[in-house]
Amino acid sequence: MANSTHTPAEQAHRTIHAGGEWLAASSGATREILDPADALPFAVVAEGDEKDTDLAVAAARRAFDAGDWPHTPVTERAALLRRVADLLVRDREKLGLLESRDAGKTVEEGRVDIDCVADAFRYFADLVAGEAPGRVVDAGSPDIHSVVVHEPVGVCAMITPWNYPLLQASWKIAPALAAGNTFVIKPSEITPMTTVALIDLLVEAGLPTGVANIVTGPGHTVGARLAEHPDVDLVSFTGGLVSGTKVARAAAVTVKKVALELGGKNPNVVFADACETEEGFDTAVDQALNAAFIHSGQVCSAGGRLIVEESVRERFVAELARRAQKIRLGRGTEDGVECGPLVSEQQRAKTEDYVASALAEGAELRCGGKRPEPSPQRPESGYFYEPTVLDHCHREMRVVREEVFGPVLTVETFRTEDEAVALANDTEYGLAGAVWTADAGRARRVAGRLRHGTVWINDFHPYLPQAEWGGFGKSGVGRELGPAGLAEYRESKHVYQNLAPKPVRWFSG
C-alpha cells in the first residue's frame, strides 16, 4: 500500500483506491479473504458499496476529462506499460505466492500467471508504440485530407473473475491504458489481493492520479453499479453467463460499450489415429489431463468434454483415469503438489452436485467423485476435491451441457468425423476446443468447422497475447488480446479536411 499515517491494521482494510488515495469502505465494512487450502483468513479488505463505486467513477471521470493521460503521447504510455512489466518481474515471487494463497492454485502456476501478465503489458506497449497515427482514406481529390484516427473510449469499468485474478485484470488494464483510458476495476470479492497489489505497481510506475481506481466489494453492489453508471463509457466483464447477462442488461440503459467473456463448455476431440503410436497415445492422454485438471478445472477454457473415437475409448479412458488418480492434491504452496483446492466451499458443493446428477443420469464413475482423505498437505477444512472422470456421458446430462468449473472430465464417443464435429459444436457456448489427429487434412477440416473462438490442433490451453481471445455463442461478445483487444478500448473518428473550400450552391438563394 501507499505510505499512510494509519496503523497496519487500519491500513490493511484500505483497499479501495480512488483519486490517488487508499481508502476504507465508506460504510466501514470489511471482508476476510480465506486461503482455500485451509479456509483460514489471511487478509482483510474493504467491502465497498455503491457509494464507494460512485467515488471511484468520479475520480476516473475527472482524470479522463481534465487529466493528461488521454493526451499523453503513445510512446510515453508504452514506456509506462513496460515499467509495469519490469516491476511485475521484480515482484514475481511475492505475487506468485499471493496468487496461490488467494485462488488456491500452485505457486508454480502463480509464477506462470505473473509471467503472462508481464507479457500482456509488454505486448500492448509494443502494439501502440508501433502504430501509424491514423489511416489515410483516399477521398478521390488532392484537396481533401481524410484520415481515421483512434481515441480512448473514456472511463472503463472492469469486472474480473476469481480463477485468474491478476491475469484477467491485465487483459483489461493493459489495453485500456495503452489506448489512453481511465478505469475502475472490481476484482472478485474472494480473490482481490493481487489486483490490489497491481494498482500499487501502476502508481509506482508513474501512472497519473485518478487513472487507475479499484473498489473491492461484491457484484450485486459494486459490479451492478459499475454496469449501470452513466459516467462509465465501457464495461468489460469476465465471469459466468448469468452475471454477464445482468451486466449487459444494465449497461444497455446507457448504451455503453460492452465486452463479455462468459466461459465455455470446451470439447477435446481425440481421433484414433492420434493414438496409433505409443508416443502419440501418451501425449494425447497427458494433454487430456492438462485440459481438464489444471487449476482444478477452474479455467474458462478447460477441456472438460473429452470426445474420443470409439475404437480407442476404453484404452484411452482407462489410462486417463489411472493417471488422474495419481495427481498430487494439496496446498499450492507445498513442494510436489500438482493441483490445489477449489476456490471456495460453494464451488466444491457445486462440483459435488454436478457429479451426483451425472451418476443419477447414468454416468459411470471411473475415478474421483469425492473429497480426498485429509493429510498434512490437505487440511480437512480445505476445499479439496479429487480429479473425477465420468464415462458413458451424453448431451442430455447437465454435467455435459453446463460449465462445472471444477475437476470433472466427461467422456463421450464418436465413430465418424461428422459425428465428432456435431458433438463438439453441440453446446450453447463456443469459447475453445481442440482436435487431436495425425491426419493434417482432417485437422484443418475439423478446425475449420468448429464453432469456437480458439481451436487447438494437437495441443490444449496455450494462448498468445498477440492473438485474439473470445468466444462464439453464449461465450460472450468482443475480444481480448491481439489488435481487436486494443480496439475494444477505442473509438474510431473520421476527420475530413477540405483544403480548398468553396461554395456548394445547393440552394439558389
Q: Give me the active site residues, please.
A: 261, 300
Residue 348, SS3 per DSSP = helix
Closest CA to 467 of 113, 179, 160, 127: 127
Instruction: Find out whether 22 and 10 touch, Cβ atoms under 8 Å.
Output: no
Instruction: Find out whether 437 and 280 touch, Cβ atoms under 8 Å.
Output: no
Instruction: Find out whether 121 and 81 touch, Cβ atoms under 8 Å.
Output: yes
Instruction: Find out whether 334 and 377 touch, Cβ atoms under 8 Å.
Output: yes
3-state helix, strand, coil in the chain (%, to 5): 40, 20, 40
Handedness of CA 218, 224, 225, 229 (dihedral sign): positive
* CA distance to 152, 183, 335, per residue, from 230 (Å): 17, 14, 49
* Residues contacting 12, CB < 8 A, separation 6+: 43, 44, 45
Instruction: Find out whether 444 and 486 touch, Cβ atoms under 8 Å.
Output: no
* CA distance to 111, 219, 497, per residue, from 167 (Å): 11, 19, 42
User: What is the C-alpha separation between 144 and 363, in angstroms, rounded?
Assistant: 69
Cα dihedral 25/26/28/33 (nearest 10) = -20
Residue 491, SS3 per DSSP = strand
Instruction: Find out whether 437 and 274 touch, Cβ atoms under 8 Å.
Output: yes
Instruction: Find out whether 299 and 359 touch, Cβ atoms under 8 Å.
Output: no
H-run or E-run covering 366: strand 364-367
